[in-house]
Chain A
């Protein structure tokens, strides 16, 4: 057997031995036996001077080493990957268990409706103005064209602290505030969400405390057509692109003309159902052109300025939209009820 044949024999032995390796320690033994500095394959080089054809022998030894080393490396990688897989397998989790983070909190539908209406009007360029619950007779009534002894005070049973101080019966009071506070009379586009109070017994549909969102636009040449355009856009954003609105003549002391605004039923699409009582429309808000007397009392000359105003009942919208059967649920804050409103 010449040296080259010897080298090939060692290579074959090594490759055969590698196949039998199954545990990391024997892989290490294998390495030490064949590939380490003093292993059998580097040892072949010591026979170089005995070789007849040195170049051929050198090539053979190198090839042998490379082949065995490659085989060893891939065996090693294979074993490491098997080991890692075994470890990962041992780390198996029950992915159906809950996550570490707590659930996020809910938001009372009352606030959800206010947020949504605010967003719609903010994107139309309105500002959000906050009024206060405790209000004077002057702002709640007088400036809104409801003088003392006005018949429409019968419509609103008011909570009083004194003859001049009361809990506001409508968010419209913030209209008067805004107009009066404009030292320089400029156009106004505002909404004002807030609480209002009336001496109603609490039942399924009445609440002594409730919320409204007041809207007011004052500018030169504002018309009912502008009111209709604005509220139609609002209805589409709030209740769906297919919604239509219709106006019915009505009465509010602070607007003239006054209208009730109906939105085509978002439950049945206008065909008539239990929600709209078969009419295809749902009464959603009251509105009108700001009464010239109100403009005048608040410092806007009705010959130069005109405006429209509207008021949305927050709970009514929430109840219709989320199918809430009883207004008291909103104020009860039962967490089992609120949990759905994320």
Chain B
């Protein structure tokens, strides 16, 4: 909200303070001044009179002017291109050396003619284009005939020597949308006296106008009928105040409405009294019809919208915009001035629904002072009388069912100091609250705070506490660490395990990423295998690309891989841990995606990421979790999973529960993500973290030597290592361990076969094995492989 500094100076004694000082103090007190704007600027300016104007000898549009700049500066020759330059015109001259917002004036020779200074437009002095007419923009500014030649305070003469403070009004301080309250705030924060003004009362006549409300959302409605007003341009001082607030001056009537709103925070509405069907205004919220507003557009009114009606016809969409049918225009002479209280929520709903906002709607939405309607009416009447020649002013007609109770908050010095951690004296606190325009009474230890009507935000002791420290300053608060009772804290077991896993993944070369939760509905169906549920879908998405909550991480990470592959990172390994939410699902997943090639020793060894890289990660994650290999199983898909390579992927289960998926993605999926290859491992981390593991129990190293024998054999490709291992362990009780050390498939073995080499480990914990036992055991192993798999042993 922008406010004129000049206006502020007229209402608070700010002697010796700069706008910057005030901005700084206000900012710390909770009314942040976001910027300080100047209406116009320029040095070395003077008012001049054009003594003569002749055409430039060498140009079809330039003029050569002799300009009288007053007794001090004398007459100077200026070359000027403005079409409106002419003899006798009073002009603004930027003298040589002048600094304007965009340019610095230097003596120059323009097409052979010397030019000493420049005649200016207001645009060149930095005045916003929106406040200027086309004529003002096209040429130089034409000053009135009585403008004093030689006057150097040109900005002051024009009323443009003002700055505006742009205050960021927080939701709890809607009162600061009113200049009068800003003045009170500045007076309080800067410890300066307010300059009170007496208001001239305009005598009123009895009125037959009627007002009322049929809606609880409008508890107050007041109106005054004012006759004989004359529409004309506003005086400069009024235009400037509005312009400083960012509002364009229209005419005196409209400007008065805006001015009163700026001063009091109370939005006004004005109706052309002669256009109202009947001499009454009734507020309703039960209409359903089309409505043509004064902007010429048609809007749909629905049940619940607050509407001001006359004779059953909508005259105003309450708080938002007047109807075209009764708007005030240049021919209007009798007007009805409305000052009412509309519930902010209602105005917001309507305003949002039809997409129409205004300064008044904004004020109603944020909350207004319900106790000042009579004052507002009086102020408006006075201005209409002074600036619009109003002939008669009708008395205020009032509908008011609002409970006008004074707000009183009881608190105490000890509460305030306790919450602040300060040791203010009672006198300090009372003085601060008094400066803040609160009324204070004492009763024993109690402080009874009478809240001024405009402070609609104040509700309880905490608010009073805030006022005290806001006024006295947070620099009075010391830094004190809380004293606590010691208790067991730190990360939970699950949090520690998760950290251990992600740290491990980084040590393995994977990078931790963060991707978006929201995806398109279609994307929620990709890689949706774990915790399957229909996704949450937004009712108000911003785009279809982000309208649903993801159901898995694989798609997000593959998209991330895809982005990288397209940006000169064709090899990579990434992971993410994230919550997964869906109706009935509140889980947490861990996903790793590896794509392209894995490199060793710089780039000297490269091989594509494959299934076993993912399986390796799975194994180490399970190690960290303390889950023994026997507690989970990998098996081929029980359902068709078209996104995975059908023969290089699997599901991971604990008992019957699916806890993860693993595999290389299908060539078609590779194409879709524009990747050469990728391995995905996605785990239901929440389920894994729930697994209880038994405490570690140390095993005693073997007392007698274990014996190993290597076996190499050829068997069908379809036989898995797991089956071989199981068979070998079953073959003889002395065989305690099996591990694979070579796999070969290729030209040297028959088609459909593979060669496998394993080491079997034999031992007896009670004694050393004898040679013949070892031979016999090995024989049994060989036999088992021959019988079970038809394996051909290679000697």
Contact = CB atoms under 8 A, between A and B. Distances in A.
Interface of A: 97-100, 102-108, 110-111, 122, 125-128, 130, 132-134, 148-149, 151-152, 154-155, 159-162, 165, 167, 187, 189, 195, 197, 199, 201, 208-209, 211, 217, 219, 221-226, 228-230, 232-233, 246-251, 253, 256-259, 289, 291-293, 306, 330-336, 338
Given A160-B538, A249-B29, A256 B173 contact: no
Interface in B487-525: 487, 489-492, 495, 505-518
12 contacts: A104-B506, A105-B575, A108-B512, A151-B366, A201-B542, A209-B516, A223-B421, A224-B474, A226-B481, A247-B474, A256-B462, A333-B511
Nearest to B486: A125
A335 B539 contact: no
Contacts of B549: 133-134, 167
Given A106-B506, A107-B506, A257 B462 contact: yes
A306 B416 CA distance: 12
Please give me the 10 A-B residue pairs with the lowest Cβ-Cβ distance, nearest first: A225-B421, A223-B421, A249-B30, A149-B345, A257-B466, A98-B602, A247-B474, A251-B170, A256-B462, A229-B479
A246 B474 CA distance: 8
Interface stretch (B69-77, B303-311, B561-569, B623-631): B561-569
B367 interface: yes
Interface stretch (B323-331, B593-601, B737-745): B593-601
Nearest to B421: A225
A201 to B, nearest CB: 7
A332 B563 contact: yes
B573 interface: yes
Interface residues of B, number: 88
Given A128-B491, A197-B518, A247-B477, A222 B469 contact: no
A160 B475 CA distance: 41
Given A104-B507, A197-B518, A251-B170, A257 B581 contact: no
A159 B470 contact: no
B239 to A, nearest CB: 31
A281 B563 CA distance: 37
A125 B495 CA distance: 15
B715 interface: no
A222 B418 CA distance: 8
A211 to B, nearest CB: 8
B541 A108 contact: no
Given A97-B602, A161-B537, 7 more contacts: A99-B601, A104-B507, A105-B508, A132-B586, A197-B517, A246-B474, A335-B569
A230 B28 CA distance: 20
B521 to A, nearest CB: 13
Contacts of A155: 171
Contacts of B421: 223-226, 228
B509 A103 contact: yes
A159 B418 contact: no
B170 to A, nearest CB: 4
Nearest to A134: B581
B422 interface: yes
Given A197-B517, A223-B421, A246-B474, A162 B539 contact: yes
Given A155-B171, A249-B28, A98 B462 contact: no
B479 A225 contact: yes
B26 to A, nearest CB: 10
Contact of B511 (A229, A247, A250, A335): A335
Contacts of B345: 148-149
A253 B511 CA distance: 39
Contacts of A228: 421, 474, 477-480
A125 B484 contact: yes
B518 A209 contact: yes
Contacts of B568: 336
Contact of A105 (B365, B475, B480, B506): B506
A248 B481 contact: no
Given A97-B601, A259-B474, A292 B460 contact: yes
Given A222-B482, A258-B466, A292-B462, A154 B348 contact: yes
Contacts of A208: 516, 518, 542, 546
A333 B540 contact: no
A333 B345 CA distance: 42
Given A104-B509, A333-B560, A133 B579 contact: yes
B6 to A, nearest CB: 26
Contact of B171 (A149, A221, A251): A251
B478 A225 contact: yes
B114 interface: no
Nearest to B560: A333
Contact of A100 (B348, B569, B575, B600): B600
Contacts of A133: 517, 549, 579, 581
Contacts of A257: 419, 462, 465-466, 469-470
A160 to B, nearest CB: 5
Interface in B546-579: 546, 549, 560, 563-564, 567-569, 572-575, 579
Given A134-B536, A197-B517, A249-B470, A223 B481 contact: no
B174 interface: yes
B541 A217 contact: no
B27 interface: yes
Contact of B601 (A100, A160, A335): A100
Contacts of A195: 517
Contacts of B667: none
B514 A108 contact: yes
Nearest to B417: A223
Contacts of B479: 225, 228-229, 232
A18 to B, nearest CB: 47
Contacts of B481: 226, 229-230, 233
Given A125-B484, A133-B579, A292-B460, A199 B516 contact: no
A125 B505 CA distance: 28
B511 A102 contact: no
B642 interface: no
B461 interface: yes
Contacts of B581: 132-134
Nearest to B479: A229
A335 B419 CA distance: 48
A154 B516 contact: no
A105 B511 contact: yes
Contacts of B145: none
Contacts of B29: 249
Contacts of B538: 159-161, 167
A223 B490 CA distance: 24
Given A230-B482, A249-B469, A257-B466, A122 B505 contact: no
B557 to A, nearest CB: 9
Given A199-B540, A226-B482, A105 B509 contact: yes
B600 A336 contact: no
Contacts of A232: 479
Contacts of A256: 462-463, 465-466
Contacts of B492: 127-128
A189 B481 CA distance: 13
A334 B566 CA distance: 10
A155 B348 CA distance: 13
A167 B599 CA distance: 41
Contacts of A201: 542
A225 B422 contact: yes
A120 B646 CA distance: 47
Contact of A125 (B419, B489, B572): B489
Given A209-B518, A334-B567, A161 B601 contact: no
A108 B470 CA distance: 39
B453 interface: no
Contacts of A226: 421, 480-482
A108 to B, nearest CB: 5
